[in-house]
């Protein structure tokens, strides 16, 4: 039995152009890859190589530091040509390791030995995940080994998140369809090491071919259960998926651990399986390149660090001008100012929207007091009142309205008939509270 969460919206899925297209390798490896040292929400990594060094696929090129970060590995073989600032997909620029490919794709011969499920324990798994540089690949980019460490012995339910409710994006759908065996192996591994007695693999009901693929493999598996949910955004958000599957509501300011649950994105589970059972670090990921401006939308299996421009060229380039470039879907995606930014571990798509697909900017519009933003906010917030408090500079009111609980899902902006950019106003409110009323 499934439950439900408050609010949510039903945007057009717009997945038709890529949902039936399998994951394909690039016909030729990128000439250059860019590995930002800031690839993790926990802080920057420390480089292990210098310009002039030769590297091979899977060789460590950066490690975590005392202040955070995650390990990084070469995703092509070649030579390190620079350690310099390059455009970052999260905005601005970041120090990055630049590797020029030699076109040979030579693997590193010092990968750790594969392990078996019988050998599995939390200490071994955590160390392997940390050494492999795995972070949350659904967008959060939090170090997966820290999440494992925090969840150990505290959870009874593991949720593998394959909901992928963002419009346009189909990378997780293709992973679920093409690599279900490995995802289920990863789920069993995580459940054993974390002590979870139940595993739910959650996807949306409209992914019928993926559902059938998983169901065939689950006939003899009594640990993992498939949960198909009616498509509704933002089902893929952690708090909403926990409430939908278990009926448990994560408290404000809390995490799924507070209700004995832990959530891993399906791509993260696939990477953990690869690291443990095959000894391979995180060097590649699934990426959807789509949108009305793209000549030939595709799902690609690409080396991490590949510039977006290279992916777009592999899809035939743009057939018309793109009014908006996004990494991530149109609801929560980050606008790209340049195609020279690279694919990183947590980004799953490049969406190139034409003018008719892009929502117009009407920042000067006036609220008509319809209340739709309040009725659709999955976090029970009042976005229009938060916007008004921001405009007044009323910190006391902002404190009572709890903008810090916002998950930036964009439901309020999507549903607003006046097309007011409410999600930006709530983000501004959070910043004002953090800075004590000073403008960011």
* Any domain includes 66: no
Residues 264 and 155 in one domain: yes
Domain count, the chain: 2
pLDDT, residue 349, reads 96
Residue 396 lies in domain: 372-434
Q: Are residues 384 and 237 in the same domain?
A: no
Residues 383 and 269 both lie in one domain: no
Q: Does some domain include residue 81?
A: no
Asked if residue 14 is part of any domain, the answer here is: no
- Domain boundary residue among 236, 257, 278? 278
- pLDDT tens sequence across 395-425: 999 999 999 999 999 999 999 999 898 999 9
User: pLDDT value at position 100?
Assistant: 98
Q: Is residue 246 located within the same domain as residue 387?
A: no
Domain-embedded: residue 415 = yes
Same structural domain, 264 and 404: no
- Which of 278, 293, 314 terminates a domain? The answer is 278
**pLDDT digit string, tens, across residues 370-393:** 999 999 999 999 999 999 999 999
The answer to whether residues 123 and 258 belong to one domain is: yes
Domain end (from 220, 246, 278) = 278
- On whether both 128 and 270 belong to a single domain, the answer is yes
Clarify whether residues 124 and 265 are in a common domain: yes
Domain-embedded: residue 357: no
In a domain, 291, yes or no: no
Q: What does the pLDDT look like over 184-199, one tens digit per residue? A: 999 999 999 999 999 9
In a domain, 377, yes or no: yes
Q: Give tens-digit pLDDT for 161-216.
A: 999 999 999 999 999 999 999 999 999 999 999 999 999 999 988 888 888 889 88
Residue 93 lies in a domain: no
Record the pTM: 0.94
What SS3 string covers the chain?
Answer: CCCCCCCCECCCCCCCCCCCCCEEECCCCCCEEEEECCCCCCCCCEECCCCCCEECECCEEEECECCECCCEECCCCEEEEEEEEEECCCCCEEEEEEEEECCCCCECCCCCCCCCHHHCCHHHHHHHHHHHCCECCCCCCCEHHHHHHHHCCCCCEEEEEECCCCCCCCHHHHHHHHCHHHHHHHHHHHHHHHCCCEEEEEEECCCHHHHHHHHHHCCCCCCEEEEEECCCECCCCHHHHHHHHHCCCCCCCCCHHHHCEEEEEHHHHHHHHHHHHHCCCCCEEEEEEECCCECCCEEEEEECCCEHHHHHHHCCCECCCCCEEEECCCCCCEECCCCCCECCCCCCEEEEECCCCCCCCCCCCCCCCCCHHHHHCCCCCCHHHHHHHHHHCCHHHHHHHCHHHCCCCCHHHHHCCCCCCHHHHHHHHHHHHHCCCCCC
Look up the CATH number of the domain holding residue 265.
Answer: 3.40.50.11540
């Amino acid at each position: 039995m499934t439950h439900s969460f408050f609010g949510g919206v039903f945007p057009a899925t717009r997945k038709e152009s890529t949902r039936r297209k399998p994951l394909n390798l690039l016909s030729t490896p990128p000439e250059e890859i860019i590995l930002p040292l800031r690839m993790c929400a926990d802080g920057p990594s420390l480089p292990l190589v210098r310009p002039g060094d030769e590297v091979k696929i899977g060789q460590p090129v950066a490690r975590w530091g005392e202040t955070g970060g995650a390990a990084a590995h070469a995703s092509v073989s070649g030579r390190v040509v620079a350690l310099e600032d390059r455009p970052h997909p999260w905005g601005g620029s970041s120090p990055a390791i630049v590797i020029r490919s030699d076109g040979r794709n030579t693997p590193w011969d010092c990968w750790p030995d594969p392990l078996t499920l019988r050998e599995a324990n939390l200490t071994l798994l955590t160390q392997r995940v940390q050494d492999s540089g795995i972070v949350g690949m659904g967008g959060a980019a939090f170090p997966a080994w820290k999440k494992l460490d925090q969840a150990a012995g505290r959870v009874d339910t593991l949720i593998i998140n394959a909901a992928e409710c963002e419009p346009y994006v189909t990378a997780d759908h293709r992973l679920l369809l093409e690599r279900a065996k490995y995802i289920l192996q990863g789920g069993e591994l995580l459940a054993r090491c974390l002590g979870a007695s139940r595993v739910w693999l959650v996807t949306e009901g409209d992914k019928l071919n993926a559902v059938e693929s998983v169901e065939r493999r689950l006939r003899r598996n009594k640990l993992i259960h498939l949960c198909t949910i009616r498509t509704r955004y933002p089902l893929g958000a952690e708090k909403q998926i926990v409430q939908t599957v278990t009926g448990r509501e994560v408290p404000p300011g809390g995490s799924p651990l507070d209700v004995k649950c832990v959530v891993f994105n399906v791509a993260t589970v696939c990477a953990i399986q690869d690291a443990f059972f095959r000894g391979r670090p995180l060097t590649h990921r699934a990426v959807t390149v789509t949108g009305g401006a793209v000549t030939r939308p595709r799902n690609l299996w690409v080396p991490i660090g590949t510039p977006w421009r290279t992916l777009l060229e592999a899809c035939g380039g743009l057939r018309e001008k793109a009014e908006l470039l996004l990494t991530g879907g149109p609801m929560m995606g980050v606008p790209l100012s340049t195609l020279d930014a690279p694919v990183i571990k947590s980004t799953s798509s490049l969406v190139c929207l034409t003018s008719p697909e892009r929502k117009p900017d009407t920042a000067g519009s006036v609220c008509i007091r319809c209340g739709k933003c309040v009725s659709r906010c999955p976090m029970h917030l009042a976005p229009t009142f938060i916007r008004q408090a921001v405009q007044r500079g009323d910190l006391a009111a902002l404190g009572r309205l709890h903008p810090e609980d916002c998950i930036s899902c964009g439901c309020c902006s999507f549903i607003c008939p006046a097309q007011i950019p409410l999600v930006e106003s709530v983000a501004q409110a959070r910043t004002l509270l953090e800075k004590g009323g000073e403008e960011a």
